[in-house]
Structure 1
Amino acid sequence: MSTALPTYLDQATLPFPFCPGCGHGTILERLDAALVKLEVDPRKVVIVSDIGCSGLSDRFFATNAVHGLHGRSVTYATGIKLADPELHVVVLMGDGGCGIGGHHLINAARRNIGVTVIVFNNLNYGMTGGEHSVSTPPGGVTATTPLGQIERPMDICGTVAVNGASFVARTSTFHGDVTDLMERALRNDGFSLVDVWELCTAYYAPANKLSRKSMEELLDTLGLPAGVLAEAPRPEYAKAYRVQYEGVVGREVMPPRPMEPRFESGVDRPLSWVIAGAAGKRIGSAAGALARGGVLSGLWATQRNDYPVTVRTGFSLSEVILSPEEVLFTATPSPDVVLDLFPEGHAKVAARVGALGPGSVVYRNAELPVVETRARTVTLDFAGASGWERRKDSWALMAVAAALRDSGSYPVDALREAAGAGGAAAVEAGLLLG
């Protein structure tokens, strides 16, 4: 059922606070007129504003409103539309927001999310002193380009159009089609953008002698035509997403896998382990098996992994704490057990190993340099482990098994269960290491 209203503006908040001659008020009046023509329930409208002078706009509408961060208003709008595809979500942002949030703008267009973006394009940052923006034309004098802009301006409409926006239009506050273009944008079932050029009468217009006539000439000079620039209907993202996943709605994506303790542990205080290895050698997996085995033995466990941004190269460290009481931290400054297995990890822990006291134990790969330490040292000869000398991605789990065999922190059977069928052979091989 339609909802015919004379206006969507909250009369108690008027008049607008913008500078005399500023185009912002005109844009808001045209948006109000478009909403009136749409006859939509104001409770089904969400105005999402950006930062800048245009960010003052949401309070003037008797609709729902969200005030966002600079350039991020499109992301809020996307989330709102995904949460309720029946809402009419309108983003109000300036050319500055389009620059700062350009990545968000591109991806919203690419997805064809059903939001409407109204760009208050006054060619500069009007709220903060008239600095240049991504739409400042060549030669434009601003606070940050006093000798004239030398960059080519961003074609906001062209950018979203080439990335899949299903309705794109450009106009100015001096054109008579603003309301109609906004109405078409609001009715479009997909991503829409209307780029409205206007005058910033506080900064850009006086500094550049910009008028209605010179603005129209500027659009021609830049090769930026007005009117509807793209109209290509295609599936709207929020609806397509629901169709894609309607068969799994309500299902648990990852059902819980509770681990009930079935073994007993003799650990009466927190024990910290460090496994020092290399990327691609399943260091984190071995640490995970150690931690899960602890849980199966009635212990609390934490695990922290550390590695560089590279993939399958560089060091890999895992730190595990096993405790009879709940553990609320992951730091292991002075570990009880260190498994020093590969050169990459050795370089990261050598200093810590050297500082360990006699209460700690270090299991070192026989091929690594010896570190002077007061800790007890156990040498592991992987090269002598028949059939395992080349299976370096199993060495970490083998070392965990050897250390558990010696320490008795919890039963090896718990580690066997935690490692699963894929790690069973490595656990057995580790029990034979010496």
Structure 2
Amino acid sequence: MTEGSTQTPAPAHIATYLDASMLPFPFCPGCGHHTILRELDHALVSLQWDPHSVVIVTDIGCVGLSDRYFATNAFHGLHGRSITYATGIKLANPDLHVVVLIGDGGCGIGGNHLLNAARRNVGLTVLVANNFNFGMTGGQHSVLTPHGAVTSTTRQGNPERPLDLCATVSVCGARFVARSTVFDQGLSGLIEQALQQDGFALIDIWELCTAYFTPNNRFTKKAMYELLEYGGWATGVLAQNDRPEYARAYHRAAAAEMAGFQGTGPSDERSLEPRFPADVQQRLKVVIAGAAGGRVRSTGHLLGRGAVLSGLYATQRDDYPVTVMTGHSVCEVIMDTEPIGYTGVPRPDVLILIAEEGLAKAKHWLAAMTAEDRAYVACDLLPLETAAQVIPLDFRNLAYRATRRNRAILSMGAVLRREGWYPFEAVEAIARETQRKEVATANLAALEASAHLLP
């Protein structure tokens, strides 16, 4: 590099993606998981991806212990749900390299997730550590246990036919499907090939469970290859389907759909650059309690995003019954100048109470509120018992027609005007720039009318 050069130095070569401080692996001697993790590491080293762009997703089972041993992002969850978590991660950020490590037990428990991820062609790399039984919980049989095999739940031999995992995801349209064993010399290269696929890739990796399946069935390397041959289980790359990857296709479709709206693009908090000043000095907790179908949650969303547009941090937590359009609807919004960790609201600073259904859910808040707090309450719900300051909301005297569906936004607009947490123009800008034209028009009219709700 010449003197005065500003050229960025080349990134250092990554020798391993494993966290040396966590080693050794916790698996049984002879367990195939050792090899799978080492071969995955070799594949990642060959690709030299930024560790921050890699996510290892696991669930329950011996292989579920694996994520902590990689110096990458990690997500660990419930048994059989790893593919679901991975799908959400990929949808949130299609640029991430998402790797799922799952056992044969997890494939059975999460079979529906597996089928639909393959059908959608979500850009995941799924490495199945297939040792033919539930190794962590005592060696029970799984959907991949060979016919006739002895396990703790099939002492006379498994009467079931095993699922052909590769054929199953192939017919669903997976982009890349392969089968291998931990004894194959080319396993790391096969994993590397799977990692580079722009779509759903799965490798069914046969291995030994030396704690249960091997001693119960005298199952050795030789026996494994005999099973492959006599059972007609082909190895290598078994299917390749050229289809659009789902996460990127989804983002493109969403962008195209939103292009027809008045807003500038899909709803995305990351695109909100503060441009209004806020007048909030400490954490502010606001609760809107109303009825389902009353647009309580969308009103809270406007309030929170207006806060973000005014340079504040904001969170939203909603509560509503499974009936969705009947019963209560409660929205909790927290605003602060500092990042918000815990999102619970034991006592709101401001409670906006607009429907009988919301009152039933808000009684504990009313009891907890103090004389410093404000409760904005629809007149038809008064009187009520609380130590808070009660400010009536009289919808009857508005020239604008107040309905069950617009009470929430009328009330929020009136409260924001009175409290002055941030400029009213911020919430108007959110409605105008991020909502569909017909929705924005109705909300802007209600926000304008809110000027006459409170004296």
* TM score, norm. by length of structure 2: 0.57
Is the 8 Å Cα contact of residues 343 and 368 (structure 1) preserved in structure 2? yes
**Residues 162-201 of structure 1 correspond to what in structure 2 (within 5 A)?**
162-170=171-179, 190=197, 192-195=201-204, 197=206, 200=209
Is 1:427 equivalent to 2:450 in the alignment?
Answer: yes
Q: How many residues align?
A: 384
Is the 8 Å Cα contact of residues 105 and 134 (structure 2) preserved in structure 1? yes
- CA change 1:231–1:64 in 2 (3 A) is farther
Q: Which residue in 2 is equivalent to 1:276?
A: 289
How far residue 278 of structure 1 moved from its aligned partner, in angstroms, is: 2.0
Is the 8 Å Cα contact of residues 294 and 414 (structure 1) preserved in structure 2? no
Aligned residue among 151, 157, 160 for 2:169 = 160
Structure 1 counterpart of 2:320, one-letter code: P
Q: Which residue in 2 is equivalent to 1:343?
A: 356
Select between 343-352 and 44-53 the one with higher mean Cα deviation. Answer: 44-53
Q: Which residue in 1 is equivalent to 2:117?
A: 107
Is the 8 Å Cα contact of residues 175 and 243 (structure 2) preserved in structure 1? no
- CA change 1:224–1:121 in 2 (3 A) is farther
Is 1:366 equivalent to 2:385 in the alignment?
Answer: no
The one-character-per-residue Cα deviations of 1:234-268 (angstroms, maximum 9, x if unpaired) are 15749977x979xx9xxx9615132135xxx7x99
Is the 8 Å Cα contact of residues 398 and 431 (structure 1) preserved in structure 2? no
Q: Which residue in 2 is equivalent to 1:140?
A: 149
* TM score, norm. by length of structure 1: 0.59
CA–CA distance in structure 2, aligned partners of residues 367 and 148 of structure 1: 70
Is 1:258 equivalent to 2:275 in the alignment?
Answer: yes
Is the 8 Å Cα contact of residues 114 and 237 (structure 1) preserved in structure 2? no
CA–CA distance in structure 1, aligned partners of residues 75 and 426 of structure 2: 50
Is the 8 Å Cα contact of residues 273 and 319 (structure 1) preserved in structure 2? yes
How far residue 338 of structure 1 moved from its aligned partner, in angstroms, is: 3.8
Is 1:396 equivalent to 2:408 in the alignment?
Answer: yes
- CA change 1:138–1:427 in 2 (3 A) is same
SS class of match (2:363) = helix
Q: Which residue in 1 is equivalent to 2:8?
A: none
CA–CA distance in structure 2, aligned partners of residues 83 and 347 of structure 1: 45
CA–CA distance in structure 2, aligned partners of residues 396 and 67 of structure 1: 40
CA–CA distance in structure 2, aligned partners of residues 150 and 308 of structure 1: 46
CA–CA distance in structure 1, aligned partners of residues 416 and 187 of structure 2: 72
Q: Which residue in 2 is equivalent to 1:3?
A: none
Q: Which residue in 2 is equivalent to 1:226?
A: 234
CA–CA distance in structure 1, aligned partners of residues 315 and 321 of structure 2: 19
CA–CA distance in structure 2, aligned partners of residues 66 and 294 of structure 1: 30
**Residues 194-213 of structure 1 correspond to what in structure 2 (within 5 A)?**
194-195=203-204, 197=206, 200=209, 203-208=212-217
Select between 379-388 and 106-115 the one with higher mean Cα deviation. Answer: 106-115
- CA change 1:224–1:90 in 2 (3 A) is farther
- CA change 1:134–1:353 in 2 (3 A) is same
SS class of match (1:367) = helix
CA–CA distance in structure 1, aligned partners of residues 155 and 235 of structure 2: 32
SS class of match (2:177) = strand
SS class of match (1:393) = coil
CA–CA distance in structure 2, aligned partners of residues 279 and 166 of structure 1: 42
Q: Which residue in 1 is equivalent to 2:19?
A: none
Structure 2 counterpart of 1:392, one-letter code: R
How far residue 342 of structure 1 moved from its aligned partner, in angstroms, is: 0.5
Structure 2 counterpart of 1:396, one-letter code: A
- CA change 1:216–1:423 in 2 (3 A) is same
Select between 210-219 and 226-235 the one with higher mean Cα deviation. Answer: 210-219
Structure 1 counterpart of 2:328, one-letter code: F
Identity rate, percent: 34
- CA change 1:225–1:388 in 2 (3 A) is same
The one-character-per-residue Cα deviations of 1:49-72 (angstroms, maximum 9, x if unpaired) are 97748989xx9xxx9999986975
- Which residues of structure 2 form unaligned runs of 5+? 1-15, 17-22, 254-264, 430-443
CA–CA distance in structure 2, aligned partners of residues 125 and 115 of structure 1: 22
CA–CA distance in structure 2, aligned partners of residues 294 and 196 of structure 1: 50
Larger Rg: 1
CA–CA distance in structure 2, aligned partners of residues 369 and 64 of structure 1: 58
The one-character-per-residue Cα deviations of 1:359-417 (angstroms, maximum 9, x if unpaired) are 6554433333632445565544434545524x333323444566678xx6449x94466
SS class of match (1:141) = coil
CA–CA distance in structure 2, aligned partners of residues 268 and 69 of structure 1: 37
How far residue 345 of structure 1 moved from its aligned partner, in angstroms, is: 0.6
The one-character-per-residue Cα deviations of 1:296-341 (angstroms, maximum 9, x if unpaired) are 9x99786654322644443233456789x87967665555654321
**Residues 254-333 of structure 1 correspond to what in structure 2 (within 5 A)?**
254-260=271-277, 273-284=286-297, 286=299, 304-308=316-320, 310=322, 311-319=324-332, 333=346
Instruction: Give the root-mean-square deviation of aligned CA atoms.
Output: 6.1
- CA change 1:54–1:105 in 2 (3 A) is farther
CA–CA distance in structure 2, aligned partners of residues 274 and 238 of structure 1: 37
SS class of match (2:289) = strand
Select between 160-169 and 204-213 the one with higher mean Cα deviation. Answer: 204-213
Is the 8 Å Cα contact of residues 283 and 396 (structure 1) preserved in structure 2? yes
Is the 8 Å Cα contact of residues 126 and 203 (structure 1) preserved in structure 2? yes
Structure 2 counterpart of 1:307, one-letter code: D
Is 1:121 equivalent to 2:130 in the alignment?
Answer: yes
CA–CA distance in structure 2, aligned partners of residues 96 and 300 of structure 1: 45
CA–CA distance in structure 1, aligned partners of residues 228 and 74 of structure 2: 31
- CA change 1:430–1:153 in 2 (3 A) is same
- CA change 1:214–1:281 in 2 (3 A) is same
